[in-house]
């Protein structure tokens, strides 16, 4: 099952994880407020399904909400960027570009209806 989790980060900040079962597929930067983390989740739910996929390893470019496949020392990872260019989510590194594309497809398909679990609610 796919879901978002809002978790505690360093210095009283918050972070968003998008998981499949117990595996974190992508995560956000740290946010100073829980409201900013919640806004990240809502933006991903709304904008990920229609976002373009840009393969930076092939020198492609793009703007607007987009997924980027990024080269990292003979491996690749995924970034999801907002329309203003801010990186909203990042994935682990993958040895195969196919795995990065599968990650993107999964976020696009499953994020809109994924439940949100707030692990900080009782903290």
Specify the 3-state DSSP secondary structure of 52.
strand
- Asked whether residue 90 is assigned to any structural domain, the reply reads yes
Q: With a cut of 70, say whether residue 18 has pLDDT above it.
A: yes
CATH at residue 64: 2.30.29.80
User: Mean pLDDT score of the chain, rounded to an integer?
Assistant: 95
Task: For 44-83, write each residue's pLDDT tens digit.
Answer: 999 999 999 999 999 999 999 999 999 988 899 999 999 9
Name 43's Cβ contacts closer than 8 Å, sequence gap at least 6.
82, 88
Domain count, the chain: 1
CA 35 distance to own-chain centroid:
17
- Asked whether residue 89 is assigned to any structural domain, the reply reads yes
- pTM equals 0.93
In DSSP terms, which residues pair with 91 in a beta bridge?
26
- Asked whether residue 24 is assigned to any structural domain, the reply reads yes
Asked whether 60 and 54 are in contact (CB, 8 A), the reply is yes
Q: Which whole-number Å values give the CA distances from 67 to 15, 35, 43, 119, 122, in the listed order?
A: 19, 23, 13, 27, 33
Which domain covers residue 12, as residue numbers? Answer: 2-117
- Asked whether residue 122 is assigned to any structural domain, the reply reads no
pLDDT interval class at 41 (50, 70, 90): very high
Return d(Cα 99, Cα 115) in angstroms, integer.
Answer: 24
- Asked whether residue 9 is assigned to any structural domain, the reply reads yes
């Amino acid at each position: 099952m796919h879901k978002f989790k809002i978790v505690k980060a360093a210095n009283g900040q918050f972070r968003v994880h998008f998981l499949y079962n117990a595996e974190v597929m992508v995560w956000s930067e740290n946010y100073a407020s829980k409201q900013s983390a919640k806004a990240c989740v809502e933006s991903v739910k709304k904008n990920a399904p229609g976002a373009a996929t840009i393969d930076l390893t092939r020198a492609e470019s793009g703007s607007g909400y987009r997924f980027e496949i990024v080269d990292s020392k003979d491996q690749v990872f995924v970034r999801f960027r907002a329309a203003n260019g801010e990186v909203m989510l990042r994935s682990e590194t993958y040895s195969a570009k196919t795995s990065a594309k599968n990650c993107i497809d999964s976020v696009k398909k499953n994020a809109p209806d994924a439940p949100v679990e707030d692990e900080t609610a009782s903290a």
